[in-house]
Amino acid sequence: MLRVDPEQAMQQALAAGVRFFQYRDKTGTRKGLYETAFRLSRLSRDAQACFIVNDHADIALAVEADGVHLGQDDLPIEHARKLVGKSRFIGISTHSLEQATTAEQDGADYIGFGPLFPTATKDAGQVQGIRNLSIIKQSVAVPVIAIGGITLETVREVILNGADGVAVISAILSTPDIRQSAEQMFRIITDSRRERT
């Protein structure tokens, strides 16, 4: 399990140009999660970055985050929407075409899809691969964020196959220099988007 100070990590990623963050903590207390999310929300707001809280719609609302990211076993989108309102983003992790299309129908603002590759960060089920990413992109109109095992070596292929963005943890936070790794990832994504158009 990665042990990185969330605020320091965000500051280094912000310096690298990253402007979309999700705070994910599966082991901490709700009070601890709230306190950290509160600090990260303020930090991201000062930098005019987007900040999303994982799983907890109530905490996202309490810290004035820009939205919440749900899992398949979390609060249904329609009920999360009642909590966070229409002005905040709701994203949801999906692992099949059915889940992706259902999420769009239920009002998700974006979906995460994967895992594209094997990952030790979370148990997200069967690896979906690049081909399924392309199918998802052709089947939904909302932005698709690729998740699961994405690295500096694979991110170009992911973007070229339609992903609107990528969610990464280990590829950045497990490296000795978070800012440098984030800068590399950001540069590859930017170049791949240009190549795709």
- Catalytic residue numbers read 24, 93, 122
**How many C-beta atoms lie closer than 10 Å to residue 109's C-beta?**
16
From CA 161, how far away is CA 132, in angstroms rounded? 10
How far from the centroid of its chain's Cα atoms is residue 141's Cα? 18
In three-state secondary structure terms, 41 is helix
Residue 79's H or E segment, with its range, is helix 77-84
In three-state secondary structure terms, 113 is strand
Q: In this structure, what token pair is assigned to residue 38?
A: 């509160």
Burial classification of residue 43, based on how many CB atoms lie within 10 Å of its CB (0-12 exposed, 13-18 middle, 19 or more buried): middle
Q: In this structure, what token pair is assigned to residue 14?
A: 């912000």
How far from the centroid of its chain's Cα atoms is residue 35's Cα? 20
